[in-house]
Structure 1
Amino acid sequence: MCPPGCLHAVCETATRRGLLKAGFAFASAAAGLGAIAPVQAHAQATAARHSFSRVQDLTHTLFEGFPTFSGEKWFTVEKPVTWEKDKVNLHRWTLMEHTGTHMDAPLHFSKDGMSVDMIPITDLIVPLAVIDIRERAAADPDASLTPDDVKAWESRNGPLPEGACVAMNSGWHKLLDSPKFTGRDADGRNHTPGFHAETADLLIRERNVKGLAVDTLSLDPGLASGEFPVHYQWLGSGRWGVEAMAGLDDLPETGALLVVAGPKVRGATGGPSRILALV
């Protein structure tokens, strides 16, 4: 989900910046068939090593009126075919890609990044690291997940797992039915937690992390509306994001495996997704 002005900002900015950065492994190697077998073998080995006792659904139910930063309705349902009339049920959905619990593909904030259908499926089943900033976010809705939060997590749990997704638990997933979920004030600005740009830079340059995830509507803090530094840095580097996650309180800081079941739509910049954690 983009804050207000997002689509306009993307159109104006994407043509001015070459944002798909070199150096991220799959961005340069995905087209090489020789790399496919090792990647698949690694993913299979990872899955074989991971045992789990439950599946945690991290997906909010999508409905008409699901909150957006601007207040616009980004998901509507029509019923052109009904049981009473046709003895069949069939719905027509109209939606923006970035609504509900959804993923952001690199293409969302880069000129020529990967669309959802281009992301290797092996990059969408990854270790999950949950970083809890609930206490700070409760006191300050403009709080952000900082490099210090990452380092504190690592002091307790060891280095971030290779190829992990780092998820921010701000407690916002519990506020879905509250105006605080969008944090929109009288001046039209949003107050919601997100990742600090310095954190995105740290994870790009010094860690092997494939995804970021938040329980808010944006990877960026709400007050970054119109600037989107984390979106541009993170997605522009060839990595993916997940927004509006649910159920993070029920997960351990480390040890879960994340499954990002995004829509396989040609050219999609993102889309509503079913997000699962194997715990």
Structure 2
Amino acid sequence: MLKAGFTLGVASMAGAGGLLGSASRASAATGPLSFSSVTDMTHTLYEGFPTFSGEKWFEMEHPVTWEKDRVNLNRWTLMEHTGTHIDAPIHFSEDGNSADLIPIGDLLCPLVIIDIRQKAAEDADAYLTPDDIAAWEAEHGEIPEGACVAMNSGWSAHLKTERFTGLDGEGKNHTPGFHPEAARLLIEERSVKGIAVDTLSLDRGIASGEFPVHYEWLGSGRWGVECLTGMDEIAASGAYILVGAPKVAGASGGPSRIVALH
């Protein structure tokens, strides 16, 4: 976590690329966005980073090296949805926006963190439910306009263990995720831009092959983020999330550098 003191005015940020954009119209009424800490919410991507199937989705070759060429240049081969990454609407829809077409103003927004660590520790198939959303709002007020709602299940701590994929002997994965009714509530009753998880999937792992949350959430034109880390360092409300999504034409998603400003 980087500690510093920053105050970014809405007008100056708009002039520097329109970062606040439509996602933060509410901030314009309350003044500048101020923060003193920056937390990296991104896992380091490496060969063998876990996937649901166990397949290797990221490889790095070294065709140009310092020893041979006095230059370092690597070649990456990857599936878009590996490591800490964004899911663009087109990932689970016929004609949604690809990653490069998501408005930049939608990628900086208030961050809501809903903590389900206790029940996830007791049950790997735990859901983030409408009741969890209601409990968060009872303590912090209604979810801010244009927010990203993130599930903190504590799963990032399991990255180097078999628990992270939750794969059992029958080929099913057991990891927490959003309940379809929770996603539907955020679509129909709250003005939310994105949802995020610290697991491999927006859906509960046991639902692999069905993906009801992926279809409904991304199909509604919203984005998702998977494999976050660092949420234990961030308050449940008051922070902002900045998603450095790849600007690749037609991409259904891709590895992203994601930070919290708080």
Alignment of 1:258-277 (within 5 A): 258-277=241-260
What's the offset of the Cα at 1:44?
7.8
Give me the whole-angstrom Cα distance separating, in 2, the residues matched to 1:193 and 1:215.
Answer: 9
Does residue 157 (structure 1) correspond to residue 154 (structure 2)? The answer is: no
Alignment of 1:41-120 (within 5 A): 42=25, 45=28, 49-120=32-103
1:52 counterpart SS class: strand
What's the offset of the Cα at 1:47?
9.7
Corresponding residue of 2:194: 211
**Alpha-carbon contact 1:43-1:122 (below 8 Å) kept:** no
**Alpha-carbon contact 1:57-1:275 (below 8 Å) kept:** yes
Give me the whole-angstrom Cα distance separating, in 2, the residues matched to 1:170 and 1:110.
Answer: 27
Alignment of 1:1-279 (within 5 A): 39=22, 42=25, 45=28, 49-279=32-262
Decide whether aligned partners of structure 1 residues 38 and 95 sit closer, same or farther in structure 2, where only a CA change above 3 A counts. closer
**Alpha-carbon contact 1:258-1:278 (below 8 Å) kept:** yes
Decide whether aligned partners of structure 1 residues 232 and 175 sit closer, same or farther in structure 2, where only a CA change above 3 A counts. same
- Percent identity, aligned pairs only? 66
Give me the whole-angstrom Cα distance separating, in 2, the residues matched to 1:117 and 1:240.
Answer: 12
TM-score, normalised by the number of residues in structure 1: 0.85
5+ residue gaps, structure 1, are 1-36
Give me the whole-angstrom Cα distance separating, in 1, the residues matched to 2:213 and 2:125.
Answer: 15
1:165 counterpart SS class: strand
**Alpha-carbon contact 1:78-1:93 (below 8 Å) kept:** yes
1:28-77 Cα distance to aligned partner (Å, 9 max, x none): xxxxxxxxx98398388379522100100000000000000000000000
2:172 counterpart SS class: coil
1:75-106 Cα distance to aligned partner (Å, 9 max, x none): 00000000010000000000000000000000
TM-score, normalised by the number of residues in structure 2: 0.90
Corresponding residue of 1:24: none
Number of equivalences: 243
5+ residue gaps, structure 2, are 1-19
Give me the whole-angstrom Cα distance separating, in 1, the residues matched to 2:24 and 2:114.
Answer: 29
Decide whether aligned partners of structure 1 residues 146 and 40 sit closer, same or farther in structure 2, where only a CA change above 3 A counts. closer
- Greater per-residue strand proportion: 2
**Alpha-carbon contact 2:22-2:106 (below 8 Å) kept:** no
Corresponding residue of 2:17: none
| Aligned partner letter, 2:120 | A
2:36 counterpart SS class: coil
In the TM superposition, structure 1's runs of 4+ consecutive aligned residues that sit over 4 Å from their partners are none
Decide whether aligned partners of structure 1 residues 38 and 226 sit closer, same or farther in structure 2, where only a CA change above 3 A counts. closer
Give me the whole-angstrom Cα distance separating, in 2, the residues matched to 1:41 and 1:203.
Answer: 17
Give me the whole-angstrom Cα distance separating, in 2, the residues matched to 1:197 and 1:38.
Answer: 29
Give me the whole-angstrom Cα distance separating, in 2, the residues matched to 1:140 and 1:276.
Answer: 28
Give me the whole-angstrom Cα distance separating, in 2, the residues matched to 1:192 and 1:202.
Answer: 21
Give me the whole-angstrom Cα distance separating, in 1, the residues matched to 2:83 and 2:28.
Answer: 32
1:188-217 Cα distance to aligned partner (Å, 9 max, x none): 100000000000010000000000000000
